[in-house]
Structure 1
């Protein structure tokens, strides 16, 4: 019932969309924790993932915004044998094209590209067993829906995207290239504010 009231309230409030010459500040934050236990073997694993993705842009036209974005991510996987730690960083630029549907809703698509770095460490019984570092590039397109709530505050809803990433690791002369197309597979909710 509370969710229905929230959706109704969001659809009733209509405020002006962002205008040319405004600053956009927004981003996403995420946390996941998962535990799996194999009872017959007495084996248990736990994984935690944290991600923070802020961005700042300037709306130089009624429909166009350009700016900078970065992402910091960290994960830890523990089991009875040891643990693995992963840290990632992305920094780049984005351009956004927005199509207002009415005073409350707008559709937009972001095109982002930049540099990325990943580091991982594997431990067994507290001893460092392996360490790796990779550098590369990323590019992606993300379509989303913007709901204007009040005084430039809004919620951003995306349901996937299209992207390409490269990583060149410093061990074993390993290069990784990834392409993803995941519309409808993931849902991201972000907050943004136009000043």
Structure 2
């Protein structure tokens, strides 16, 4: 089951190729599991997004995320994110294009009712297959987030994870 969820997550990532005056609908599905001794951590994340391509190179839209993390013997932690993103795309050939996504928004966790902001940049490459369907590839990015809870100290995190992650996805572009 874990392998099936992992393969599905690889298939459903990012969004499609840029066409002026079109709507992009896409997102990510992710799952991870880690076991250390008797303790087990698993999380599931769903991250939809919708964007409008107002030129051949620029797309802007809304993104969100719902994550549920479970740790053996501890309370579940749910994390919600909502924000906006901007994408800049450059065509490398008829088949391949390079893109950079920048996103920023608000986040909240159920654990300790922590709230904060996030921002991130993720470059990638997509391959236009046919009729607005694309395969998308990325290998990480740069991200920042902070959380401030009732009983916890303020948490700030800066991540640089190029090469630590691999996302492969399929997506669809709807021409308006």
Structure 2 CA distance for aligned equivalents of residues 67 and 191 of structure 1: 19
Which residue in the other structure is 1:133 paired with?
113
Query: Taking structure 1 as the reference length, what is the TM-score of the superposition?
Result: 0.76
Answering whether residue 49 of structure 2 is matched by residue 55 of structure 1, we say yes
Q: As a proportion of its length, which structure holds more strand?
A: 1
Which residue in the other structure is 1:117 paired with?
108
Contact residue 77 and residue 109 of structure 2 kept, 8 A: yes
Q: Deviation at 1:147?
A: 1.4
Structure 1 residue runs of 5 or longer lacking an equivalent are 1-16, 38-43, 121-131
Answering whether residue 172 of structure 2 is matched by residue 178 of structure 1, we say no
Superposed, 1:45-194 pairs within 5 Å as: 45-78=39-72, 82-120=73-111, 132-172=112-152, 174-194=153-173
Structure 2 CA distance for aligned equivalents of residues 166 and 75 of structure 1: 18
Q: Deviation at 1:157?
A: 1.3
Structure 2 residue runs of 5 or longer lacking an equivalent are 1-16
Runs of 4+ residues over 4 Å off in structure 1: none
Structure 1 CA distance for aligned equivalents of residues 52 and 167 of structure 2: 22
Count residues in correspondence.
158
Contact residue 62 and residue 85 of structure 2 kept, 8 A: yes
Contact residue 48 and residue 77 of structure 1 kept, 8 A: yes
Greater gyration radius: 1
User: Cα RMSD over matched residues?
Assistant: 1.4
The verdict on how the C-alpha distance between 1:190 and 1:27 changes in structure 2, with shifts beyond 3 A counting, is farther
Q: Deviation at 1:117?
A: 0.6
The verdict on how the C-alpha distance between 1:176 and 1:34 changes in structure 2, with shifts beyond 3 A counting, is closer
The verdict on how the C-alpha distance between 1:179 and 1:34 changes in structure 2, with shifts beyond 3 A counting, is closer
Structure 2 CA distance for aligned equivalents of residues 51 and 60 of structure 1: 29
Which residue in the other structure is 1:29 paired with?
29
Alignment partner of 1:84: what SS? Answer: coil
